[in-house]
Homo-oligomer: A and B are copies of this chain.
Amino acid sequence: MSIPRSVYRKRIRRAQELMRENEVDAMLILSLENYRYFTGDVRKQPRMLIPSENEPTPIVFESEREEVERRTGLQAKTYRSLPEMLSAVISFLNSLEKDTPVVAVEMEFSTPAFLIERFRMANPHVEVVDAKQIVSPLRKIKDRYEIELMKKAGKLADIAMERAADLLKPGISERDVALEVEYYVRKKGAERLSFPMFVNSGERSLWLHGMATDKIIEKGDVVLIDIGPVYQGYCADITRTFVVGSAGSEQKRAHEAYLRMQERVIERIEEKKNEITVLELERENSEFMKAMGYNGLYVRGFVHGIGLGFEETPFPTIFPEDLRETISKGMTLSVGHSVLSIKGAGGFRIEDTIHVGDRVAHLTNFDRKLLEVG
């Protein structure tokens, strides 16, 4: 799908309005996510400066100028060495004609710490502020082009989980499940996975995070599989819990509680959108889990935003201030981020990607029951 250039121009103009409201003179774009959001172009280690007035300036390696200008419709500054790149940034900042320009810089999950440190060292007269205040209000509400891409990512997540379910059998390694599923979903059109797949089996299903190791899947294992395929930059996220063999009653009860919690959250989002905050949802969840007898076995952080970032605003497990975010129409969310971790029984999660419209639309739809395989 090709997004018209006017859409990117509109995003830039809205960012510039927010920059002026927040007295920010310029924004330095360092992440592919934001570069892609504002230009549609895809480039490794992109650099772009957006002033609060006038056109943005991509800063690119000399040999890439022609293509960047053709793809973005913007005029680029070029460099042939690191010092030239730095001086392009500095001369742009000087052109703002401010004694202490205020520059918004991304401090996201994917922004390398050293870049910010180096930027500060090279530009001691600049006041650095977090670009989140400019970018998040835009990115957290998806436009119709973004929803289309998210839907396609969701479909890829479903077929990836289907493939994983087919592969899960005693004797296969976690790593081989992950490799075969990744190959399959990329072959079907995923650009990449937004994070290395989790195939957490046995004791490892209890983990907060995950990965796929050489461990062999055994009969009796609970296996928690989390997959995040990316379609044209947009991420979907799906998690399902499997039992290799037959599920026991404690496992069934835990899974059922988790599913009920997920369904409740989605109902509440549908009823209370534009009114309820992430914190209120989280509190209701904690109460629910307590009532189910799972106090202390469930980590807060059930919902997070998803889009160009596989975790983006609202993202309360990393940015506690996001607990105050109101769940709003237009958001795309991952619901089911936290694990219910019960020693002896296993770890349980059901995670889906949803779009908050007038109704809630599920973008991932693979069977939500506790899946017995092998």
Contacts and interface: CB of A to CB of B under 8 A. Distances in A.
Interface string A277-308: 00000000000000000001001110000000
Nearest to A109: B112
A258 to B, nearest CB: 16
A115 interface: yes
Contacts of A372: none
Contact of A301 (B44, B61, B82): B82
Given A63-B343, A64-B206, 8 more contacts: A42-B211, A43-B209, A63-B208, A63-B347, A64-B207, A82-B320, A108-B112, A179-B187
A284 to B, nearest CB: 17
Q: For the side of the interface on A, what is the size category?
A: 35 or more
Contacts of A206: 63-64
A319 B121 CA distance: 12
Contacts of A117: 107, 130
A192 interface: yes
A208 B61 contact: yes
A81 interface: yes
A111 B114 contact: yes
A80 interface: yes
A183 interface: yes
Interface in A4-56: 42-45
A110 interface: yes
A341 to B, nearest CB: 5
Contacts of A196: 192
A35 to B, nearest CB: 13
Contacts of A360: none
Contact of A107 (B114, B186, B203): B114
B113 A299 contact: no
Contacts of A192: 196
A358 interface: no
A373 interface: no
